[in-house]
């Protein structure tokens, strides 16, 4: 209980010090918030692009063409096997007669196709996989190729590769940006705490003279960095939420023209917690580095 009261006392003291210099405090918090909102905003845009790409591209399909002369029994057996496959959501059977009719209507060559002595098209199944990533689709395609009475397996995965390449590039860019800005935020907190230590040098010397431990002296500075980082994360959350609200309001008119319901996704509760926790940790880390480097240099004279 005593330890808890001590931490609460230090926290109250930290908040008071923040309020003593409101202009500098607000400026630091705003800088941290803007810096954090850049990579987090990029992350939000990537999530929205991924969702939009999935809607545009639709569900990936695998066309399974059967060998010529495959009987009804084999067709039924292959269909049952496809239905029971764990990685396939559903299937559609396209008979060679139906495929020929679709070809006649889609190509406009009905006279030429009608003059054929026999139907050259095979029976086929269209499989809709559960997983949409390129590696899983290609593995499923290779597996289906090994089945008996299957002549060819066609996977339309070009859009999957393009989308994943674009998203991978975006993820790497966001990670690099987040790493650089995180380093900058640690440096900002480091310098802020360094100035506080220098300003309170005489107070620290007196505290050491009366027997205060380094842990006791260090605690307010760590709380200061933690609190400043946490408030910066909250500012970033507000900036991102406000930006998404304005952007979605602007997108409404555009999406209505295309009969779409697309909107930019906001931060989930888990993402919000991660943002606040990470920003508070960066503030604490910068304060810890600063105190570790400068506190030992101050000794009572």
Query: pLDDT (tens digit, 9 = 90+) per residue, 107-156?
Result: 555 555 555 656 667 888 988 887 666 677 778 888 888 898 888 888 86
Question: What six digits make up the tokens of 62?
Answer: 């695998």
Model confidence at 183: pLDDT above 70:
yes
Q: Alpha-carbon distance 133 to 63, whole Å?
A: 17
User: Could you write out the three-class secondary structure of 88-114?
Assistant: EEEEEEECHHHHHHHHHHHHCCHHHHH
Query: Residues 154-164: what's their mean pLDDT?
Result: 70
Q: Alpha-carbon distance 290 to 274, whole Å?
A: 24
Question: Measured between alpha carbons, how far is residue 226 from residues 4, 27, 128, 270 in Å?
Answer: 17, 16, 49, 20
Delineate the domains of the chain, giving CATH numbers in brackets: 2-56+162-297 (no CATH), 61-156 (3.30.70.3040)
What is the per-residue pLDDT for 145?
A: 87
Model confidence at 2: pLDDT above 60:
no
CB 110 within 8 A of CB 153: no
> Which residue in this structure is represented by tokens 């929205």?
48
Strands (E), 23-144: 62-66, 88-94, 124-129
Query: pLDDT (tens digit, 9 = 90+) per residue, 16-50?
Result: 676 777 787 788 889 999 999 999 988 888 887 77
What pTM does this model have?
A: 0.64
Question: What six digits make up the tokens of 44?
Answer: 């939000």
Question: What six digits make up the tokens of 170?
Answer: 């975006």
Query: pLDDT (tens digit, 9 = 90+) per residue, 206-242?
Result: 767 777 676 777 788 888 888 889 999 999 999 999 9
């Amino acid at each position: 209980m005593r330890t808890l009261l001590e931490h609460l006392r230090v926290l109250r003291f930290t908040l008071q010090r923040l309020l003593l210099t409101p202009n500098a405090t607000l400026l630091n918090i705003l800088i941290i918030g803007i810096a954090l909102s850049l990579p987090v905003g990029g992350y939000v845009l990537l999530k929205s692009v991924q969702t939009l790409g999935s809607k545009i591209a639709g569900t990936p399909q695998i066309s399974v063409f059967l060998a010529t002369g495959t009987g009804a029994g084999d067709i039924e057996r292959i269909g049952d096997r496809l239905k029971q496959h764990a990685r396939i959501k559903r299937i559609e059977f396209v008979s060679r007669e139906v495929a020929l009719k679709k070809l006649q209507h889609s190509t406009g060559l009905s006279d030429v196709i009608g003059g054929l002595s026999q139907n050259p098209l095979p029976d086929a199944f269209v499989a809709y996989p559960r997983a949409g990533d390129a590696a899983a689709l290609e593995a499923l395609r290779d597996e289906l190729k090994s089945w008996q009475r299957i002549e060819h397996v066609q996977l339309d995965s070009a859009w999957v590769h393009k989308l994943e390449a674009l998203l991978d590039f975006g993820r790497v860019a966001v990670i690099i940006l987040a790493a650089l800005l995180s380093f900058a935020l640690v440096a900002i907190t480091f310098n802020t705490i360094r100035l506080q230590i220098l300003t309170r040098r005489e107070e620290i010397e007196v505290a050491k003279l009366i027997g205060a431990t380094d842990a006791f002296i260090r605690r307010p500075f760590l709380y200061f960095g933690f609190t400043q980082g946490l408030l910066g994360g909250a500012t970033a959350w507000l900036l991102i939420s406000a930006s998404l609200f304005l952007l979605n309001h602007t997108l409404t008119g555009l999406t209505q023209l295309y009969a779409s319901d697309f909107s930019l996704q906001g931060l989930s509760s888990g993402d919000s917690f991660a943002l606040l926790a990470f920003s508070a940790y960066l503030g604490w880390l910068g304060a810890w580095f600063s105190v570790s480097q400068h506190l030992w240099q101050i000794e009572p004279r």
